[in-house]
Structure 1
Amino acid sequence: MEWEFNSYYTLIAATAVLLSGKWLVGKIRFLRDFNIPEPVAGGLIAAMILFALHQFYGVSFKFEKPLQDAFMLIFFTSIGLSADFSRLKAGGLPLVVFTVVVGIFIAVQNLVGVGLASAFGLEPMIGLLTGSIALTGGHGTAGAWGATMEKLGIVGATGLGIASATFGLVFGGIIGGPVARRLINKQGRKPTNAETLSAGTNDDNTDDVFEKAVRPRLITADSAIETLAMFAASIAFGQIMDTIDSTYFPGWMNLPKFVWCLFGGVVLRNILTSAFKMNMFDRAIDVFGNASLSLFLAMALLNLKLWELTDLAGPVTVILLVQTVVMMVYATFVTYVFMGRDYDSAVLAAGHCGFGLGATPTAVANMQSITNTFGPSHKAFLIVPMVGAFFVDIINAVILSGFLNFLK
């Protein structure tokens, strides 16, 4: 028996998950100490309740997926609308270094996946599904490459890829906080009190978009409407370009829709600010982006069917667990070290865990959970959203094409 929730009830359920997650993090010290994001805390509890209902009563639940996708597109668009070219130039060498570090990890992730799949006697291409296709790539990439794999004879590749991506989304949100917390504790940095975090920040400052999600923002109805118009224009651009991309360039380009929405936001913002000298409503962009991030993660975890993960073969589960350990080790000894061994690099390590296993929204949530405790990290919030949402998809596509051609 399947209970289907329309968009209204899906939204109600997602907000309930977020409120329960906030309550859990506030009451359970373990969750606070390890900086587990509120949507992950509430979402995992909801997923376990749904799993119990399925196991004991045979009930499954279907939540409105297009609504989840819509909030994902709004979140990525908000990153684009926040990306002033002057801020991107400010990223400088650290942006380049982090992009290289991420690119090397994608290759490592696929080598680990292919190597372990071969060791277990599985088709080596399954190693790519449990590598950067599902983990760094996420659900969208898993669905796209899964169809390609099935054409090459890998039965059930799409389902396996999506299940692996779900595993990564959860564990990416779980390990990021503890990895960064351990690195920060070694530095001797102490938590910053809530009053200091929320006080003394210029409301018009664009450098802290997504960085201080709990800080009040002053927005008006007019600014909200104008901001929604920019979101609509960027998402419409993403829809048009996604159609052109998939129709005319299916073989070598075919970027996910959210990348085009992000790119549309970047172009729109910089045209409006440079050519028309428009003052951007970064406060409104910030509010919509953070709310969409939380709702997307809550809905993604509501759609987490734990009973499908139990169907994963033992070897595949082992591969995913090893990939989780590899991510933790790489973030600790490579990402953290090469990015400077300071507080910013620890926050970057948390972000890398988020999109290295899960998705960019998970990375931002990981970093927010750290900065809400230990203070701001402008460097991390400048670098991670652009690399995780844009550059990583291009790098991943190139590396995966190379691996696939070699394995064929």
Structure 2
Amino acid sequence: MAINQITTLCLAVTLFLVGTFLVKRVGFLNRFCIPAPVVGGLLFAILATILKGLDLIEITLDTSLQSIFMITFFTTIGLGASFKLVKLGGKLLVIYWLACGFLALMQNVIGVSLAKLMDLHPLIGVMAGAVSMEGGHGAAAAFGETIEGLGVPSAVSIGMAAATCGLVAGGLVGGPVIGYLIRKFDLKPSSEETEAYVEKSQHPITDKSFMMQVFLITFCMAVGTYVGEWFSTITGFVLPGYVGAMFIAVIVRNVVDRIKPELINMREINLIGDISLGIFLSMALMSIKLWEIADLALPLFIIVLVQVIFIVLFAVFVLFRLLGKNYDAAIMVSGFLGHGLGATPNAMANMSAVVSKFGPSRKAFLIVPIVGAFLIDVFGMPIIITTINLFK
């Protein structure tokens, strides 16, 4: 049964809403912050697999709109990259940022090495490396399309499966690890109040302002896709369109900050980004052909397990000490475990769970979202792109 473009879009939105309903009402999904589109999309993918396995029907989806929503989301991330936030983090932000870059490198080394050891294509290891671990479902879907174009079938499905495992693992290990550090070193929140810059738009949503944000986003998307094509033509490196759009958006944001900062309304941009991400992930997850990756279940589990072991050891014995071996460092480590294996919302959930029990950490809640939301891509994207081009 072939489902056309518009019906596929309607189905994606429906699955997003179903996922939202389930996440709110199922304790496990809520506790580990499993994204709503992941829940809804995977349910559909499982249903489609069962129907095919019983030889009842094979469903074909037209997901041609998926790339537009994908580029839109990453463009909104770029527009949120104000350098004003970076300055407030200081030395700790730089250390945390460099640690995330090192993690991306090691995740690809682990993924590619284990893939070769198990006689798999190295790019499968990349999909189970920084792409799906630090990158999460968004990067898994985006780079998966690129890697499938390089001749590795089911790359999106592999990346999504690895990202889901990583997301759950990030939620599982965060609390216990940080609880151990806090108890072992008898850590307590600092009495000093650290000022945190939190960017909030107080402007109401209006049609004029909303269309201005749409213009900025589409402008960055248009210019960014041409920049990506030009870069690939000149260098021979594969550069996904959304990467170019995101970096153009970073430039536009900081130019506008100097000229007319009130032009950007982050409340509206975040709204557009959230909707785009929801639809994009729903489409990506619901189109996964689970039967194509059944044979890779064990290798993927092994790779993800090694990734989890590595990040826990690195976070506890290296990063915790580099960040000062204090309460703030412990909370930042909990965030590191969250987005290093899953996504920034996972990091925030980990930190919120810890501070609700042990006390606040304003430094952690300033630094982790800044790095996890956009700075991480400054290192992560080049590392992923270079690795892909080394093994394509």
TM-score in same-fold range (> 0.5): yes
Q: Which amino acid aligns with 1:240?
A: Y
> Identity, % of aligned pairs?
24
1:386 alignment partner in structure 2 = 374
Counterpart of 2:284 (choices 289, 300, 305) is 300
1:326 alignment partner in structure 2 = 306
Q: How many aligned residue pairs are there?
A: 358
Q: Which amino acid aligns with 1:275?
A: I
2:143 alignment partner in structure 1 = 141
Counterpart of 2:384 (choices 382, 389, 396) is 396
1:176 alignment partner in structure 2 = 170
Task: Confirm or deny that 1:82 pairs with 2:80.
Answer: yes
Q: Say which SS state the counterpart of residue 66 (structure 1) adopts.
A: coil
Task: Confirm or deny that 1:220 pairs with 2:206.
Answer: yes
- After TM superposition, the structure 1 = structure 2 runs for residues 217-256 of structure 1, keeping only pairs within 5 Å, are 218-251=204-237, 254-256=238-240
Which segment is superposed worse, 288-297 or 370-379? 370-379
Partners of 2:311 and 2:83 in 1: CA distance: 28
- 1:118 Cα shift? 4.7
Segments of 5+ residues of structure 2 without an aligned counterpart are 184-196, 324-328, 357-361
Q: 1:206 to 1:269 in 2, by over 3 A?
A: farther
Task: Confirm or deny that 1:10 pairs with 2:2.
Answer: no
Counterpart of 2:319 (choices 308, 328, 338) is 338
Q: Answer whether contact 2:12 2:283 (CA < 8 A) is retained.
A: yes
Task: Confirm or deny that 1:273 pairs with 2:257.
Answer: yes
- 1:90 Cα shift? 2.8
Partners of 1:404 and 1:338 in 2: CA distance: 30
- 1:232 Cα shift? 1.0
Q: Answer whether contact 1:133 1:142 (CA < 8 A) is retained.
A: no
Partners of 2:83 and 2:210 in 1: CA distance: 23
- 1:225 Cα shift? 1.0
Q: Say which SS state the counterpart of residue 84 (structure 2) adopts.
A: helix
Q: Answer whether contact 1:98 1:335 (CA < 8 A) is retained.
A: no
- 1:281 Cα shift? 0.8
Partners of 2:120 and 2:165 in 1: CA distance: 25
Segments of 5+ residues of structure 1 without an aligned counterpart are 149-156, 190-204, 210-215, 355-362
Q: Answer whether contact 1:351 1:384 (CA < 8 A) is retained.
A: yes
Let me know the Cα RMSD of the aligned residues: 3.3
Q: Answer whether contact 1:129 1:164 (CA < 8 A) is retained.
A: no
Q: 1:139 to 1:293 in 2, by over 3 A?
A: closer
**What TM-score results when the alignment is normalised by the length of structure 2?**
0.78
Partners of 1:302 and 1:127 in 2: CA distance: 20
- After TM superposition, the structure 1 = structure 2 runs for residues 108-123 of structure 1, keeping only pairs within 5 Å, are 108-120=106-118, 122=119
- 1:129 Cα shift? 4.8
Partners of 1:300 and 1:259 in 2: CA distance: 18
Q: Say which SS state the counterpart of residue 60 (structure 2) adopts.
A: strand
Q: Which amino acid aligns with 1:13?
A: L
- 1:264 Cα shift? 1.5
- 1:162 Cα shift? 3.5
- 1:52 Cα shift? 1.5
Task: Confirm or deny that 1:288 pairs with 2:280.
Answer: no
- 1:259 Cα shift? 1.3
- 1:275 Cα shift? 2.5
Q: Which amino acid aligns with 1:207?
A: E
2:189 alignment partner in structure 1 = none
- 1:247 Cα shift? 2.3
2:187 alignment partner in structure 1 = none
1:198 alignment partner in structure 2 = none
Q: 1:94 to 1:319 in 2, by over 3 A?
A: farther
Counterpart of 1:351 (choices 333, 339, 355) is 339
Q: Answer whether contact 1:129 1:142 (CA < 8 A) is retained.
A: no
| Deviation by residue 1:278-324 (Cα, 9 ceiling, x = unmatched) | 442111112111222222222211111112122x3xxx433311221
- 1:245 Cα shift? 1.9
Q: 1:288 to 1:124 in 2, by over 3 A?
A: closer
Q: Which amino acid aligns with 1:308?
A: E
Partners of 1:231 and 1:256 in 2: CA distance: 17
